[in-house]
Homo-oligomer: A and B are copies of this chain.
Amino acid sequence: MPSAKLDPIDRMILAELQADGRMTNVELAKRVGISAPPCLRRVRTLEEAGFIRGYHADVDARALGFEVQVFASVGLVSQAEADLSAFEERCRNWPLVRECHMLNGEVDFILKCVAPDLSTFQTFLTEQLTAAENVASVKTSLVIRDAKDEPGVPFDVLEARMAAEA
């Protein structure tokens, strides 16, 4: 169930919904070239199979007063699984931390953080993050500007790959 295979229409559906998650099913069906009912069935199937995790409005954080975006590289004292998990759990509970990725190499984690202003972030940094148990080192970098910010799947690459296999 989790992974039936996807045909070109399924991939088109995913690409369209990634680009515009609020597209009506009628419009979507038109674009992928089938009628509305089977289109909706496919979407439901993709959702249930986990290909689509959810839908989200892309809200402008800056417009809402979150002026500061920071990447933090974190090294831990202990990399035992229990300690890694403990740190991850802490990250999940820090609202200012929006992403927490475990890495290979010298740094153990990279965090993407947001804050209303620098001083709020500094407070978080010194009182929470750096002060957290098992944290050995934290190096932060302020984001000056975003040249590209499009999380998601590059469907053009995917299609090229599928075409190549055929």
Most chain B C-beta atoms within 10 Å of own C-beta, residue among A102, A112, A116, A147? A147
> B153 to A59, Cβ gap below 8 A?
yes
- On whether A102 and B147 interact (CB within 8 A), knowing A59-B14, A65-B158, the answer reads yes
Q: Cβ of A127 < 8 Å from any Cβ of B? A: no
**Which residues on the B side are within 8 Å of A69 (C-beta)?**
101
Partner pick for A22 among B2, B11, B21, B88, CB 8 A cutoff: B21
> A96 to B142, Cβ gap below 8 A?
no
> A146 to B99, Cβ gap below 8 A?
yes
> A20 to B100, Cβ gap below 8 A?
no
Q: Cβ of A143 < 8 Å from any Cβ of B? A: yes
A151–B54 CA distance with the chains assembled, in angstroms: 13
A46–B58 CA distance with the chains assembled, in angstroms: 11
> Would you list 7 pairs from A and B whose C-beta atoms are within 8 A, ordered by A residue?
A18-B57, A20-B55, A53-B58, A71-B110, A88-B147, A104-B141, A116-B161
- Give 18 A-B pairs besides A21-B54, A22-B55 with Cβ atoms closer than 8 angstroms: A6-B64, A18-B56, A19-B56, A21-B22, A49-B63, A51-B59, A51-B60, A55-B56, A58-B152, A66-B158, A69-B101, A71-B103, A88-B148, A89-B147, A95-B156, A105-B142, A107-B141, A151-B151
